[in-house]
Chains A and B, each alone.
Chain A
Amino acid sequence: MFDKILLAVGLTSGLYLVRNLYTMLLVLPDEAAQGMIYRIMFFHIPSWWTCFLSFLVAGIASAVAIRSKSNRADSLAVAATEVGLAFTFVGLATGMIWAKIIWGIWWTWDARLTWAFITALTYAGYLMMRNMIPDPSERLRVTGVLNVFAFASVVICYKAIDWWRTQHPGAVMSFRTGGGNIDPAMEGMTYHNFIAFLLLCVVMVTLRLRQEETLREIEGLRRLAYSR
């Protein structure tokens, strides 16, 4: 039953993404200054929101895991981090392609981009570090602390456009500016794609969580086999 629900959510997110693709390509007009390239933002912005949310869930799960020594919470932290990292790569790739047209360069070391890069590196480091610690309880504690503190880089990345003068555009969404910086239809499209990404993210995290549980079962059985 749960598998069917998961499949239904996955299919819904896929269909929602296709529907959004139709709207952004055939319904919404080109942007006055940027032309058609601005549509990349419909993937770029939601992917960053999704990864930030995943990292928040991962940070909270890690904190719970450390406090209650919960393997399940630790598994959720890994799952959310890995899926969040996939969305981070989407954000980085789409941002670079947009920058090549609008700025004429693929990358610049301004505060927002630098912190985005640091965020990706930090979470990739977390995942790599997990493979280096064989003892499950030590792995939970050490990497859990890293995951909790890693969220600071997400906050800095999010606020970088407010704290420093950056080449990266400032906030445009009405919940940050109070409105007037973006056409409501374009803003709505961003939210639509965010919902689709969020649904996809839930499916991915659930699948990854199951794998982590299976991995723990395998580790347990191996230990049992060796102890005989």
Chain B
Amino acid sequence: MDQRNFTYMFYGFAAAWLILAIYVVSLVSRGRKLQDQLETLKRTLSQEKL
């Protein structure tokens, strides 16, 4: 029981950290993509102006 208890406690901790870590990583990568998109769009529009 104790071994199983420990294993599941580890799963619980791991699940909590993993979900939050995955979300933070996805948040950062999404932010970078959006920033790239914005810069490309701004560049395209300024070139069209010229």
- Interface-central residue, B6, B12, B35, B48, by most chain A CB under 10 Å: B12
Contact across chains for B5 and A35 when beta carbons are under 8 A apart: yes
Is A28 close to B, CB under 8 A? no
Q: What residues of chain A lie closer than 8 Å to B41, measured between beta carbons?
A: 218, 221-222, 225
Expressed in whole angstroms, the minimum distance between the Cβ of B48 and any Cβ of chain A is: 7
Known: A86-B19, A221-B38, A221-B42. A40 touches B5 (CB 8 A): no
Known: A40-B13, A94-B15. A35 touches B31 (CB 8 A): no
Contact across chains for A86 and B23 when beta carbons are under 8 A apart: yes
Contact across chains for B48 and A211 when beta carbons are under 8 A apart: no
Q: Could you tell me the distance between the alpha carbons of A207 and B24 in the complex, rounded to whole angstroms?
A: 9
Contact across chains for A89 and B19 when beta carbons are under 8 A apart: yes
Q: What residues of chain A lie closer than 8 Å to B45, measured between beta carbons?
A: 221, 224-225
Known: A37-B9, A40-B9. A90 touches B44 (CB 8 A): no
- B interface vs A, CB < 8 Å? 1-2, 4-6, 8-9, 11-13, 15-16, 19-20, 23-24, 27-28, 30-31, 34-35, 37-38, 41-42, 44-45, 48
Q: List 26 A-B contacts (CB under 8 A).
A: A35-B2, A36-B6, A36-B9, A39-B9, A39-B12, A40-B9, A83-B23, A86-B23, A90-B15, A90-B19, A90-B20, A93-B15, A93-B19, A97-B12, A97-B15, A100-B8, A101-B5, A101-B8, A207-B27, A208-B27, A210-B31, A211-B31, A214-B35, A218-B38, A218-B41, A225-B41
Q: What residues of chain B lie closer than 8 Å to A221, measured between beta carbons?
A: 38, 41-42, 45
Contact across chains for B5 and A36 when beta carbons are under 8 A apart: yes
Q: Could you tell me the distance between the alpha carbons of A200 and B30 in the complex, rounded to whole angstroms?
A: 18
Expressed in whole angstroms, the minimum distance between the Cβ of A193 and any Cβ of chain B is: 10
Known: A35-B5, A86-B20, A93-B19. A218 touches B34 (CB 8 A): yes
Say what secondary structure dominates the interface of chain B: helix
Q: What residues of chain B lie closer than 8 Å to A47, measured between beta carbons?
A: 16
Expressed in whole angstroms, the minimum distance between the Cβ of A99 and any Cβ of chain B is: 10
Is A127 close to B, CB under 8 A? no
Expressed in whole angstroms, the minimum distance between the Cβ of A121 and any Cβ of chain B is: 17
Q: Chain B: which residue is nearest A225 at the CB level?
A: B45
- Interface-central residue, B1, B27, B30, B44, by most chain A CB under 10 Å: B27
Q: What residues of chain B lie closer than 8 Å to A83, measured between beta carbons?
A: 23
